[in-house]
Structure 1
Amino acid sequence: MPKLFCRLGIVTVSRKPVTRWGKRGFAPHSVLPDVPATPAGERLSPPGDVELYYAGDFQLMLYSGEAAHYRDNLFAKPTLWVAMRPDDPKGVVMLTADPYEGEARAGDEALVVAALPMPPSVALWVEGFMSLHYKEEVFVKRKRKRADPDALTRGGKRVLDKDEFLP
């Protein structure tokens, strides 16, 4: 199965807890089309109520078998799905352009999953890959075969003719 990959940078956000018993949590914030030279886990904004962190660079894999999913993503609002652990600023677990895989990960209570806007250069790259590998599936309606009433019987026919009745 042909596949292609590129590396993208991910920025996470941390907000001040609502109560004094809460703790800071992290969530995906944005995707960078280019990988900066910043080390993973470094704070990008000054300390405060909302802080941005660079989570690191992660690999976006595209598989030819999922080209129809990428097509669905591009015809809607192009998004990248990022899943991460909420207690680690660089705890990204998944980066994907497949909306169905992203929605599947959203059911995991241990992860924070976000659909982030896809950078335009990445959208062009995904569109190029999709146009090479997408094949339209032609719908073919099957014809129903008439059931044979004698197919499942042992021995004789299920329906007797008029002259076969016993007197």
Structure 2
Amino acid sequence: MDRFPVAVIMERRRLQSRWADEAWEAVGVVPAFDDSAAATRQLVAEADRDQFLVGGFGLELFRDEADNYFLNLSSPVPKVFVMWRLEDGAARPVVVTVSYGEAARLLDSGEQVDGVAMPREIADWVGEFVNLHYKPAPRKKIRRNDPLALDRERT
């Protein structure tokens, strides 16, 4: 599978604050194999929070990012990263990725990025890709003319 279709769960929490009325964050990513998930629909409507399912996204994997996928999968809690922007008072996901590197680049450029726990189906799919394409960098042996030279310089 070249693309893994997903939908993002965005949550709006109402705040009791002078500075902000509400706070948005991505709280989940779910597989979305049906076409009906492309539209935005409300999942939860409560006094203090709302949740929306925003579909139409697909995860794509690239060979040159295999080391970043490996790092993600080997972390204690693998994540799916959601970059979103506030447009017309609502949070709109823009990019969904499983690459640590891509998420870091987005954060470095000032974008809002949330990490959510990776569902098992996505972890299995990414794991298959990593098993096929991840090649650890070869270890380089450092040759020293005099292995005790560093010790002598310190004294």
TM score, norm. by length of structure 1: 0.73
User: Which amino acid is the alignment partner of residue 22 of structure 1?
Assistant: A
8 Å Cα contact 1:12/1:89 also seen in 2: no
**Structure with greater strand share of residues:** 2
| Alignment check: 8 A CA contact 2:37 2:56 kept | no
Measured after TM superposition, the shift of residue 51 of structure 1 is 0.5
Match runs of 1:14-163 below 5 Å: 14-19=12-17, 22-35=20-33, 37-38=36-37, 40-76=39-75, 77-87=77-87, 89=90, 91-109=92-110, 111-141=111-141
Tell me the distance in 1 between the aligned counterparts of 2:18 and 2:67: 47
Matched-pair contact (CA < 8 Å) for 2:4–2:31:
no
Q: Percent identity?
A: 25
Q: Secondary structure at the match of 2:53?
A: strand
Please tell me whether Structure 1 or Structure 2 has the larger radius of gyration of its CA atoms: 1
CA shift for structure 1 position 108:
4.4
Tell me how far apart the structure 2 counterparts of residues 142 and 4 of structure 1 sit (CA, whole Å).
40
Distance 1:20 1:63, change over 3 A: same
Aligned residue pairs: how many? 142
Deviation at 1:35, TM superposition (A): 4.3
Gaps of 5+ in 2: 146-155
Structure having the larger proportion of residues in helix: 2
SS in 1 for 2:2: strand
Going from structure 1 to structure 2, the CA distance change for 1:143 and 1:20 (only over 3 Å counts) comes to closer
Is there any run of 5+ residues in structure 1 with no aligned partner, and where? 146-167
What is the Cα deviation at residue 105 of structure 1? Answer: 1.8
